[in-house]
Structures are given as structure tokens and as C-alpha cells.
Amino acid sequence: MSSQYQKAVPQKEKSKGPNNPNSYLKYSQLGIQLFLTIGVCAWLGFKMDESWNNGKPLFIILMILVGTTGAIYMLYKSLPKD
């Protein structure tokens, strides 16, 4: 009897087009995530340079590269496999 009830009640269809607000939120979140990941790593590199390297930009460059690599990897993992 429950299968008859499911057939009688129409289900809402999920919109998968470009006007879907969830896709806008997903991709705006990705941009924020990229910015924050690289920014936090750059700040950590700056603080490491201040305390350990007498102002030479070794750690900031290294941490920006690590942050960029990590952000691109997270971006790659979150995109659909179409």
C-alpha cells in the first residue's frame, strides 16, 4: 500500500541547471576556501619568518606554495567528475 501512496504523491524535482542556487553557493564557497587557505598559509609563513629567519622571505614563499598546492588539490577533489 505504501508504494501506491508514493506514486500518488508527486515528488519535487531537483533543478540541475545553471540557475540552481546551490551551484552558485558551492562555487562561491570554493573561491572563499581557496582565498582563505592561501591567506592563512601566507600569514603562517610570515610569522615563521619573523621569529626564525630574521625577516628573510624563505618561509612565506614556502608556505604560499604549500597553501596553493593544497587549495588546488581541494578544488580538484570537490569538482564533479563529468
Look up the pTM and report it: 0.67
Tell me, yes or no, whether 78 lies in a domain.
Answer: yes
The pLDDT-based confidence of 22 (bands split at 50, 70, 90) is confident
pLDDT at 54: 73
Domain with 70, as residue range(s), is: 41-82
Please indicate, yes or no, if residue 32 is contained in any of the structural domains.
no
Query: How confident is the model over 54-70, as pLDDT tens digits?
Result: 767 899 999 999 999 99
More confident residue, 78 or 34: 34
Residue 51 lies in a domain: yes
pLDDT given for residue 26 in this prediction: 74
Number of domain units in the chain: 1
Classify residue 69: in a domain, yes or no. yes
Closest by Cα among 80, 68, 75 to 39: 68
